[in-house]
Amino acid sequence: MGAPHKGSVKLDIMTAETLFRQYYARLCHYAFQFTGDAEQARDIAQEAFVGYLARQDEVSVHPDAIRNFLYTSVRHACLNVLRHHKVVEKFVQEQTAAAPVDAGAMQAIIRTEVLAAVHEALQSLPEECGRIVRMGYIDGLKNQQIARQLNISINTVKTQKRRGLQLLRLRLPPETYLLLLYLLTRD
């Protein structure tokens, strides 16, 4: 492009309009060959004209120089778009490759999330009920072991566990409660 040429004249509105009519469709077609996207090709062609109008003092007034500037601008813009698409594709492929999680890992994640929600809900249960539910369902103790450790009857343990599940059902979102029941029946 270089320094402004002596004698270069800014395009007046009529000449800019003529230039646009003469090259716009050609530039759109040229850009489309790179991008395969008609709307993007139109945007790139329009940007080439905007770029030319902003820098026309740096471009010779010779029609070949103007044409070369416009085609070069479109080509560079298309190559930048293609580079950007490649970067995005590479990122998506890397994310997709890293995304597969085996079933065991997914079950561990679900179990952890459910137990976190359950622990939070357990804090809102009455103290003894919460302790018995924790011992029975989280620590995995049998009713007889809980009764012995707390020095209470097995019937009290059963009643408190049943009451605790009823209260958890009210305090947990339905899907979390169902996952909790699923996890309790699998263990």
For the stretch 102-150, pLDDT in tens is: 677 777 777 778 778 888 888 889 999 999 988 988 888 999 999 999 9
Domain map of the chain by residue range? Answer: 13-98, 103-186
Query: What pTM did the predictor assign?
Result: 0.45
* Contact (Cβ atoms closer than 8 angstroms) between residue 142 and residue 152: no
* Contact (Cβ atoms closer than 8 angstroms) between residue 143 and residue 157: yes
What DSSP line would sit under 108-128, residue for residue?
Answer: HHHHHHHHHHHHHHHTTS-HH
Q: How far apart are CA 100 and CA 88, in angstroms?
A: 19
Q: How many helices (H) and strands (E) does the chain have?
A: 8, 0
- Tokens 């995005």 locate to 88
> Percent of the chain beyond pLDDT 70?
87
For the domain with range 103-186, which CATH number is right: 3.40.50.720, 1.10.8.60, 1.10.10.10, 3.40.47.10? 1.10.10.10
Q: Residue 110, Cβ neighbours under 10 Å: how many?
A: 14
Q: What are 95's two structure tokens?
A: 């994310």
Question: Given pLDDT bands bounded at 50, 70 and 90, which one contains residue 7?
Answer: very low
